[in-house]
Structure 1
């Protein structure tokens, strides 16, 4: 099988209009024909192997996507039925702002980037702090109290102790600006209804 896969890949590579897409096609065709690891040397020693995501990240296959979609749509329906409105904070925030809202341990878990001005940015490691910042920036539009929810991706430098992955989806609802026990009870009831 390995030889057959390599032969198919070589045939694709011999086409005169060889480009990156042909190379990808060759890899896909060879992968379909062979379940074993294989290597293809071409272009002066450029090496291909079966690829996999970095540690702590995973591909979502169609069956997993369907499960994720079902859960997210269930959360979405429940939150909106309770009168909560969706918000989506950006994936990047200023590191100094995020550091104010999370503990020291969490700051070490954040993927950090530097923009062209030298400012440190943080990839979203959790959603509560960015959502609080979003609300503060848009208080007039959202009013008070505000019922908001989010379903977003989060990334952490080290695998989460809870779930052992570095990329995960987080869904949550916030009732901001109402300190009453009734508001707390509403959020607890919403959480139960979401399960």
Structure 2
């Protein structure tokens, strides 16, 4: 690659920003402007991928010669998609309903080279089993982990949310936090940007 393209994280998520910072890369963040309205009958896998790609593409005009990372995560349990609760009451209800249940998290990542139009896409699936939780445990968790209301399924796994979980099956432990780092490193390598 003859010139180093700027790297743009198309996300307002503090969690994803923190993950990317750990790789030691220079990057900017930009908030994508993309309609996240659910599509009827769409699978969690397809929703996560559509949203990640849409977020990256929504920044293409603003960053015409850059590498734009788009990411999204959708949780699925009991034949339905779980969003971000956004408030404590919704989070309490969601966690009570997930107590002892199996949840699948679909974490999509795309890397769009806005100069060449090349798009690399991946969805990482993480299977989680929640512990049986009492109302008191849920209440204490949300008091101590207020940011959990901004996480899919209200489970902030990188923090105190680990205490909610009984088991995690994943090919990339970073994916549950929101950014499949293993695949991102591969995508960046394909664009000539080396981490090491």
Fold shared, TM-score > 0.5 on shorter chain: no
More helix by share: 1
TM-score (norm: length of structure 2): 0.30
User: Which structure has the greater CA radius of gyration?
Assistant: 1
TM-score normalized by structure 1?
Answer: 0.30
More strand by share: 2
Higher RCO by CA contacts (8 Å cutoff, separation 6 or greater): 2
